[in-house]
Structure 1
Amino acid sequence: MVHAETVAGRRTGSPWLPFAVRRLLGLVAIFVALLVVSFLIVQLIPGDPAAGLAGADADLADIARVRHQLGLDQPLGQRFSDYVGGVLSGDLGTSFMYRQPVLTIIDNRLPFTATIALSAITIVLLVAIPLGMLIGVLTQGGRRRWLDTGFGFVTGLLDSVPGYVMATFLVVMFALGIGLLPLFPPAYTPRFGSASFVLPVAAIVIGPICTVSRVVRRETAVVLGNDYLRTARGWRLPAWKRYVKWALPNLLTSTLTVSGLVLTGLIGGAVVIESVFALPGLGSGIIKAILDRDYPVIQAMVIVIGMIAALINLLVDILLGLIDERTLGGSHVST
Structure 2
Amino acid sequence: MVLAFFVILTLTFLIVQLLPGDPAVAVAGPQATNAEVEAVRTQLGLDVPLWEQYLTYLGNVLTGDLGTSFMWNLPVSEIVTTRLWYTTQLAIVAMLLTLLIALPLGMAVAVLTRDGRRRWLDALFGCLTGLFSTVPSYVLATLLVAVVAVQMGAVPPAYSPGHEFKSAILPVVALTIAPTCTMARIVRRETDTVLTQDYIRTARGWRLPGSAIYLRYVLPNIVTVTLTLSGLVLASLLGGAVIVETVFSWPGLGSAIVAAITNRDYPLIQGVVLVLGMLATLITLVVDVLLGVVDSRTLGGRS
Residue 108 of structure 1 corresponds to: 82
Residue 254 of structure 1 deviates from its aligned partner by 2.3
**Within 2, Cα distance between the matches of 1:185 and 1:259?**
27
Q: Which amino acid aligns with 1:137?
A: V
Contact map agreement 1:102 1:297 (CA 8 A) in 2:
yes
User: When the two structures are aligned, how many residues end up with a matched partner?
Assistant: 303
For 2:197, which of 226, 236, 260 is the aligned residue?
226
Gaps of 5+ in 1: 1-26
Q: Does the CA-based 8 Å contact 2:159-2:251 persist in structure 1?
A: no
Aligned residue runs from structure 1 range 1-335, under 5 A: 27-55=1-29, 57-187=31-161, 194-329=165-300, 331=302
* CA–CA distance in structure 2, aligned partners of residues 85 and 103 of structure 1: 15
Which is higher, the Rg of structure 1 or of structure 2?
1
Q: CA deviation at 1:325?
A: 0.8
Would you say the 8 A contact 1:271–1:283 is kept in 2?
A: yes
TM-score (norm 1): 0.85
Bigger CA drift: 43-52 or 273-282? 43-52
Structure scoring higher RCO (CA < 8 A, sep ≥ 6) equals: 1
In structure 2, the CA distance between the partners of 1:221 and 1:232, relative to structure 1 (3 Å rule), is same
Greater CA drift, 123-132 or 53-62: 53-62
1:105-131 per-position Cα deviation (integer Å, ceiling 9, x unaligned): 112211110100111111111110111
Q: What is the RMSD of the two structures over their aligned residues, measured on CA atoms?
A: 1.9
CA deviation after TM superposition for structure 1 residue 55, in Å: 5.0
TM-score scaled to structure 2, two decimals? 0.93
Partners in 1 of 2:206 and 2:301 — Cα distance? 37
Matched residue type, 1:197: A
Structure 1 position 203, deviation (Å): 0.7
* Deviation >6 Å, runs of 4+: none
Shift of 1:100: 1.2
Residue-by-residue CA offset, 1:245-282 (whole Å, 9 max, x unaligned): 11101122223333333332212211211121122211
Deviates more, 1:99-108 or 1:320-329: 320-329
Assess, with a 3 A threshold, how the Cα gap between structure 1 residues 99 and 72 changes in structure 2: closer, same or farther: farther
Query: In 2, Cα distance between the equivalents of 1:55 and 1:287?
Result: 19
Q: Distance in 1 between matches of 2:222 and 2:292?
A: 14
Contact 1:275-1:283 within 8 A present in 2 as well: yes
Taking the aligned partners of 1:98 and 1:47, their CA distance within structure 2 comes to 24
The CA distance in 1 between the partners of 2:182 and 2:194, in whole Å, is: 19
Q: Distance in 2 between matches of 1:213 and 1:220?
A: 10
Change (3 A) 1:72 1:186: farther
SS at match of 2:234: helix
Deviation at 1:298, TM superposition (A): 1.6
d(CA) in 2 for partners of 1:199 and 1:119?
12
Deviation for aligned residue 1:97: 2.4
Partner of 1:15: none
**What letter is aligned with 1:117?**
A
Q: Which letter maps to 2:206?
A: W
Distance (Å, rounded) in 2 between the aligned partners of 1:312 and 1:68: 37
Identity over the aligned pairs, expressed in percent?
Answer: 53
Residue 5 of structure 1 aligns with which residue? none
Contact 1:164 1:276 in 2 (8 A): yes
Query: 1:233: Cα distance to partner?
Result: 1.6
- Alpha carbons of 1:46 and 1:120: their partners in 2 closer, same or farther (altered >3 Å)? same
Contact 2:95 2:233 in 1 (8 A): no
Residues in 1 aligned to 2:25 and 2:40: alpha-carbon distance in whole angstroms: 8
Query: What is the rounded CA distance, in whole Å, between the counterparts of 1:185 and 1:252 in structure 2?
Result: 36
The alpha carbon displacement at 1:291 in A equals 2.4
Question: What is the CA distance between 1:52 and its match in structure 2?
Answer: 4.9
- How far apart in 2 are the matches of 1:99 and 1:48? 21
Specify the code of the residue in structure 2 equivalent to 1:270: A
Q: What SS class does the counterpart of residue 173 from structure 1 fall into?
A: helix
Which stretches in structure 2 are left out of the alignment for 5+ residues? none
What displacement does 1:47 show? 4.3
Deviation at residue 58 of structure 1 after TM alignment? 2.5
